[in-house]
Amino acid sequence: MSPLVSYRRLLGLTGPLYVVVAFVGRLPAAMSQMGALLLVSSVTGSYAAGGLAAGSLAVANAVGSPVAGALADRLGQRPVVVVQSLLGGAGLLVLVALAHRGAATGVLVAAAGAAGLLIPQVGPLARVRWRPITRGTGAARSRLVDAAFSYEGAADEASYVLGPALLGVVVAIASPGTAVVVAAALLLAFGTWFGLHPTARLVDPDHAGAARGRLVTGTFAALFGAQLLVGVLFGSVQTGTSVLAEAQGQLGLAGLVHATLGIGSVLAGLAMVLLPDSFHPARRLLAFAVGMLVLSAPLLLVDGLGPLVAVVMVLGTVIAPYMITTFTLAERVAPRARVGAAMTLMAGATGIGYALGSSTAGRLADASGHTAAFAVSVTGAGLAVVLALVAQPALRRIERVADPVATPEPAVSPVA
């Protein structure tokens, strides 16, 4: 089955509207971290404060998302995602209001954390839906699930292209506060819509069963660490980009420049379905980690936005493949009834890594400039290589998940 046929068949199972809603619904998460960074930095005059706010939001989201994922495994996604979307959108609006009223840095950091605790992770929850969506597709199911994960990885990366780009446009023509308000509006509308979509019924407890089975194993912990390190890279690159953009008097371009990280990543993610089955995910993880280290090293040499755009665009070609591989391995090793918790834990790892990367890079950048921030990126990539090497024996034991025999049934009626 060719990649084009696989993607077309997936679209036919859900209808095009679902794909649009699930994609736009994940943009607020992509916008809120950088939005908090720019908003708090602009009102306090400190990138360390902005990094703390962004890190607080990311860490809180990393803590809250697995709890929400576990609740979704038990209660169904619909009530959990709807409540998160409404409260998370409100939390972002409160953050903007406090910033405009000149609240203290500690209050802004706490408000950012409260908002992050409530923002849903639409991408990981969308991944959970694909296995039941493809129920009844026969022998093609395994290949379709792989294609779905490739798409979801590319969609995540695309959201981190368009999210910062949209944020940058709004900052350039208005202000960081307005940009965060836009993120809140998208969350209130499309996050809620995603929660109410008919596909949510496919992962209700009646379909998934009671959440049981051991989730946290040594192998899963290694994958969690691998995902955390790519979060470090995201956070530090984003902070370094913002510092360099401000130094050149182009702060509004920070989001647009950082968005180029995802351009090559999106294309590489979509192309993942072309990789042969013989290229085992364990080997892929190591190969893409090495790629991150090699391609991030030139960040230490950039001194302008033009060269930075070129470097981050090329670096992006290994980001989505690396993340798709970690999520694929985590989905295979997790108990079937706890996939929601597993996927949101992996997303939480990204948030924790982002917090570590952005806060560390922010402190170093305040003292030594953008190159120090980018040094955090290269260090994170180097640690990813070490972890992938150490974990190879355990990761190679993960075999392709065998789909249980199920009575063929339509996953969901296509929605126009």
Give the residue, 334 or 112, on which the prediction is more confident.
Answer: 112
DSSP class of residue 275 equals: S
Burial code (b: 16+ CB inside 10 Å, e: under 16) for 380-393 equals bbbbbbebbeebbe
Report, as an integer, the average pLDDT of 40-51: 85
Question: What does the pLDDT read at residue 213?
Answer: 63
Q: What would the two tokens of residue 288 be?
A: 């893409």
Give the residue, 239 or 89, on which the prediction is more confident.
Answer: 89
DSSP-assigned states of every residue in 358-377: HHHHHHHHHHH-HHHHHHHH
Question: What does the pLDDT read at residue 206?
Answer: 54
Question: What does the pLDDT read at residue 3?
Answer: 64
Dump pLDDT digits (tens) for 97-115. Answer: 999 998 899 999 999 999 9
Question: What does the pLDDT read at residue 187?
Answer: 96
pLDDT at residue 208 greater than cutoff 80 = no
Name, in order, each residue with C-beta under 8 angstroms of 154's C-beta and a sequence gap of 6 or more.
265, 266, 267, 269, 270, 272, 320, 324
With contact defined as beta carbons under 8 Å apart, do 288 and 395 qualify? no
Dump pLDDT digits (tens) for 217-269. Answer: 888 999 999 999 999 998 898 888 888 888 877 766 776 776 777 777 788 88
pLDDT at residue 34 greater than cutoff 90 = no
* HSE-CB of 346 using CA atoms within 13 angstroms: 32
Question: What does the pLDDT read at residue 271?
Answer: 81
pTM of the model: 0.75
Cα-flanking dihedrals φ and ψ of residue 101, to 5°? -95, 5
| Distance separating alpha carbons of residues 226 and 394, to the nearest angstrom | 14
Domains of the chain as residue ranges with CATH = 3-396 (1.20.1250.20)
Question: What does the pLDDT read at residue 412?
Answer: 45
DSSP class of residue 189 equals: I
Greatest CA span in the chain, whole angstroms? 62
Dump pLDDT digits (tens) for 365-392. Answer: 888 888 899 999 999 999 999 999 999 9
| Distance separating alpha carbons of residues 104 and 387, to the nearest angstrom | 39
Report, as an integer, the average pLDDT of 12-22: 90
Report, as an integer, the average pLDDT of 313-320: 88
